[in-house]
Chain A
Amino acid sequence: MLKNAILTLLSLAMAIGLGGYSVWYALNAQDGVGAIRIGQWTAFPEVGTLAADPYSKARVAREGVLALGQAEGLAFVAERDDAGEPLKRECAYTIEGGYPTARFWTLYAADQSLGVIDTGKPRQSALQSYEVLRQPDNSVVISVGNRPAPGNWLLTGGSGKMYFVLTFYDTPIASSTGLSDVTLPRILKAGCNA
């Protein structure tokens, strides 16, 4: 009798514990269902629409996000460099390459919650396409780090995990047909302050 009661309790505890934990884990994972990967950049074109999967719907409700609409833009997030190493705030990176068609784009360095990182300096940790210098072939080279660099410089600082968020506004790639042959810039590590 007691054995049966204990076994029943065990099943119930497993069901509730594992079930709850697995949802929590799935909602906190950065990539998920419906992600589109281009190089190291990930986008969720369907997030926040009625066509989204239950996981992104739950994530939207839990985090209170108001996702960009298709006529507004599309955001890509990178958490690793091209060698596959996680991005770190104490490291310097070079982001180079061409960008797909859009009216303009913005790039910023983000912390874990995808908010812009606070450098404690008046210069924001963000760049946009109207202010960048371009190479003769229209590509852009951006130096990321806490030391000033010639050309385009994206200021970062502190230590810990870092993400790059690259958002294209008023762009044809936001409709899924345009996403097939898009290339995004590469993220190369330039060095670290250990």
Chain B
Amino acid sequence: MRSLLHALILGLLGAGIVHIAVLFLVPEFSERDAWSRLAMASDLYKMTRLDAEAGGAPVVKSVDPLFYAAACRFDLTDGLVRIKAPGDVPFWSASVYDRSGHNIYSFNDHNANGEKLDAIVLTPAQMIDVRRDLPEDLQGAIFVEAPIDEGIFVVRAFVPDDSWKPIVSRFLEQSACELQDY
């Protein structure tokens, strides 16, 4: 009887240890996280629609039905990445996520120059290089310093009603995500 009790207590203790171990391992081994889902849908440096409007099931879930969104994956070890989109939508916002989907930095159209989306994501080390000799065409851009290698850039745009759908779709289709030379 005593040994059974002993075994039960040991089992409960083990359950606690397993609970903690599994909890910390889930983010490491998840194959369903945002990065993996995007990787299945498209290549690096390619803007991909996240909402269902573009056909098929949404790539990443839980997007507001009154929003369209697009995302691209990047790898800062290749160089800096520049994201551009023309303005003229009621509201847009953008976020930089790291490899495991943590929001590193976010901003919206009121933070931008002339309401046009023009952002550059780079590491602090690349920032020092760029600052030394800032090219003319980068001067209006928003610089996002992110201490990461791989990451995801997401643009969300508000669709107030049906008449805005083509305009907002065009905004996201014209958005570009590319490696920038400097």
B and A form one assembly: yes
What does the 1/0 interface line of A51-86 toward B look like (CB < 8 Å)? 010110110111111111111110100000000000
Asked whether A103 is an interface residue with its Cβ less than 8 Å from the other chain, the reply is yes
CA distance A103 to B32 in the complex (A): 33
CA distance A48 to B156 in the complex (A): 16
CA distance A124 to B4 in the complex (A): 59
In chain B between 143 and 176, which residues have their CB closer than 8 angstroms to a CB of chain A?
A: 152, 154, 156, 158, 160-161
B108 touches A71 (CB 8 A): yes
Assembly CA distance A28 to B30 (angstroms): 15
The one of B4, B24, B34, B93 in contact with A170, judged by C-beta atoms closer than 8 angstroms, is B93
B7 in the interface (beta carbon within 8 A): yes
- The interface size bin for chain A is 35 or more
CA distance A50 to B7 in the complex (A): 39
Q: Assuming the A-B contacts A58-B23, A108-B66, are A15 and B18 also in contact, with contact meaning beta carbons closer than 8 angstroms in the complex?
A: yes
**Are A66 and B95 interface neighbours, CB within 8 A?**
yes
Which of A11, A23, A124 contacts B14 (CB under 8 A)? A11
- A117 to B4: give the CA distance in the assembly, Å: 50
Asked if residues B11 and A55 are in contact (CB atoms below 8 Å), the reply is no
Complex contact A170–B110 (CB within 8 A): yes
Contact A18 B11 (CB under 8 A): yes
Task: Tell me, yes or no, whether B15 is within 8 Å of chain A by CB.
Answer: yes
B135 on interface, CB distance cutoff 8 Å: no
**Residues A73 and B93 in contact, CB atoms below 8 Å apart:** yes
Q: What are 10 A-B contacts with C-beta separation under 8 Å?
A: A11-B7, A14-B15, A19-B19, A23-B26, A62-B30, A63-B61, A71-B93, A106-B66, A114-B61, A124-B66
Given contacts A27-B26, A71-B93, A170-B108, 9 further A-B contacts (CB under 8 A): A11-B14, A14-B14, A19-B18, A48-B102, A49-B102, A54-B23, A67-B103, A71-B111, A131-B161
Q: Residues of B at under 8 Å CB distance from A?
A: 3-4, 6-8, 10-19, 21-24, 26-27, 30, 32-34, 36-37, 50, 58, 60-62, 64-67, 71, 91, 93, 95, 97, 100-108, 110-111, 152, 154, 156, 158, 160-161
> Taking beta carbons and an 8 Å cutoff, which residues of A are in contact with B?
3-4, 7-8, 10-20, 22-23, 26-27, 48-50, 52, 54-55, 57-58, 60-73, 75, 103-104, 106, 108, 113-116, 124-126, 128, 130-131, 165, 167, 169-170
